[in-house]
Amino acid sequence: MKNVGVIGGGLMGSGIAEVSARAGLNVVVVESSQQAATAALSRMEKSLERAESKGKLDGPGGSTAQKVLDRVRVETDLDVLADRDIVVEAIVENEVAKVDLFRALDRIVISPDAILASNTSSIPIMKLGVVTSRPQQVIGIHFFNPVPVLQLVELVPSLLTSDETTARSRAWVEGALAKKAIDCQDRAGFVVNALLVPFILSAIRMLESGFATAADIDRGLVLGAAHPQGPLALADLIGLDTTKAVAESLYEEFKEPLYAAPPLLARMVDAGLLGRKTGRGFYTYTR
């Protein structure tokens, strides 16, 4: 699978595009507007220049940042994905938006063997597959942020995904991209978020109750449990809107109180305090 399509050029989408291009693949990224497309390209440029300056820009043919960027083009029309071998959706964590997109991709992508993948954190893959005429070729391929750094990818076949699609996806992830894959059942949250999000929500409830400050909660987990960063700082990195969306998907599926989004999280999202990407969440950041 040499021709890769990525829909969405935010932190996740640009990262998926970058690692694909660094692997020598031809990449097309589709964004919703020219402004978003320019921002996506700038995001990749900065990431690649940073990797190059640190001597960590590996890849075929003695890659440079510019050589990698030459393998990527950013467009605003979904029709440019018609010739792709694999398309990875990385848009907002919203079920209605993703379902509509997969319905469109089924019409646009012409290769009978093309894989349609979602980078969703929590939405069941079955709901995306059944709106297409090829649910056997729809699979979850869930990367982790920052994509160029973190090695894990969750492979999430639905009940209708074929064994061939799962095998080809694994070969692409582990062979072409040199990542490490784990197998997950098609359940909201998959493996990592089903464990991680309740942990983050517990930290938010602790803060909300006045039990401890954000800094002390995070310091406790970093110094007392050897975590690389605390749960509230991690929520800021993930994005509080994404954290809330995953929590809601988990609660919708399992109806367990530990998955319910705390009121503080909901209020922060309503206020646009989404973490690093907006400059303020549980902490304040220089943008």
119 is catalytic: no
Neighbours of 59 (CB within 10 A): 17
3-state secondary structure of 275: strand
* Whether 197 contacts 251, CB under 8 Å: no
Catalytic residue among 18, 31, 154, 248: 154
Catalytic residue among 47, 142, 158, 248: 142
Catalytic residue among 121, 122, 158, 169: 121
Give the separation between CA 27 and CA 2, rounded to whole angstroms: 8
209 is catalytic: no
Question: What's the burial of 20, exposed, middle or buried (CB within 10 Å: 0-12/13-18/19+)?
Answer: buried
Long-range contacts of 228-233 (CB under 8 A, 24+ apart): 230/203, 231/199, 231/200, 231/202, 231/203, 232/200, 232/203, 232/204, 232/207, 232/281, 232/282, 232/283, 233/282, 233/283
253 is catalytic: no
Give the separation between CA 122 and CA 178, rounded to whole angstroms: 24
142 is catalytic: yes
Tell me the H-state helices in the chain.
11-22, 34-53, 65-69, 95-108, 125-129, 163-170, 192-208, 214-225, 231-238, 240-254, 263-270
Distances, alpha carbon 253 to alpha carbons 123, 124, 262, 265, in Å = 10, 9, 17, 20
Catalytic residue among 63, 118, 193, 249: 193
Q: Which two tokens stand for residue 271?
A: 């206020």
Q: Which residues are catalytic?
A: 121, 142, 154, 193
